[in-house]
Structure 1
């Protein structure tokens, strides 16, 4: 049985998570307070991120799931640098899948929804109780119904074609394939290239999104390994996140039949005399 959670954090934490999501998507995990010991969140449970505040600031700003439940030393507000007085507190690592900080689902809206009529957090002084808050399925749905269209879990998905590639200095095809599988399994974005385009985009048109590798082999002769796959997603950014998940599942199960290998000659730029 699925249990739904809400975790409230301050505006500074929301900003940090937003910046991380823009740059890293759901490759990042965000440690959040979950020290209310009568509650038992589990890995995989859906979670709503709630921004504290008054008026139009307070509301749901992100949706995701719990990747891990951990215990670590924290200051009481979970954000200050660790000091001697810190104690061992329970936390959850949240992966954000939907971010809507610019168009939040506000508390003033939800308070009018009968599904939140008895929600303690919305009562005077109720928000002072420790995280996390358990949501009824109907309350979770009341939030997702109000999310911006393009971030709703049920919004129509588009098929995207993904090309993942890596360039390796390797002695033979099999060695290059093994290096590629290691790159995928470890999600080594320093060496990885990724091109994302919607299925109806012409092959010669500019891709919707391109991830450029940061490092290349020094050898003039290298082997380029390519993997073509498809995902369903809401946007190129969402396609990237889904591709990352698909890569994690594929890992060592990739075979020579799934991949293409091309021997590639790298050209050094000609030196110019002064």
Structure 2
């Protein structure tokens, strides 16, 4: 990633867009939306791999995380709506200032939830979507009662501490209490309802190209959880594949995170979908 652009966020925060391949200003631009607690820099090899295959790509930290400022804590709270309808439009606006091509949002894990919440709104900022390693946290589609207990414990600790101390507890990084409360409610009920507003109806009417990628050995987004999340995109033009590396393929074995650091093959495949489905669609 060789391009860096600082972005002002709603509420007075800032983040930095790290990008590659931006010389091709009319090509599709893939904006990576990170997983919970994963810094933008972690996706550098994946962004570079997409750029090598003909699409511009970039990634930025969410409000309050990584290099974005200020950080969340007891005195700094936010929820799904702040990221889905504040952070994402601000970042896409900056992309469109510098880039003429269509914008594809690629949501990894939590990033897919935020993308779904955004697309359920009245004015989507992106032209197409990719979900990778992203499924509902609903306990019935995950590891059953184990998932239910774990997610509700996260909500309780977040309320007691005023934030989620994930760095100390080994899961998810430091997170805002409202975000974790809404995520835990999504796990408990199977419904994503930021601010008490269920996204199901709004998302069901959203028509756009959608690529959903299952990752082999992904215990955090198993096929049943991906099925349930993709099912919310009732009007989308869905394509789906499971990514698994055959014996002898380069890179690490596939799991929830490895594609970002070892993006051989998967980067090429996603770039081909973006170029074929989104790039061709955008041409007159």
- Same fold, judged at TM 0.5 (above): no
Instruction: Give the TM-score taking structure 2 as reference length.
Output: 0.23
Structure with the larger helix share: 2
By relative contact order (CA 8 Å, sep 6+), the higher-ranking structure is 2
Instruction: Give the TM-score taking structure 1 as reference length.
Output: 0.24
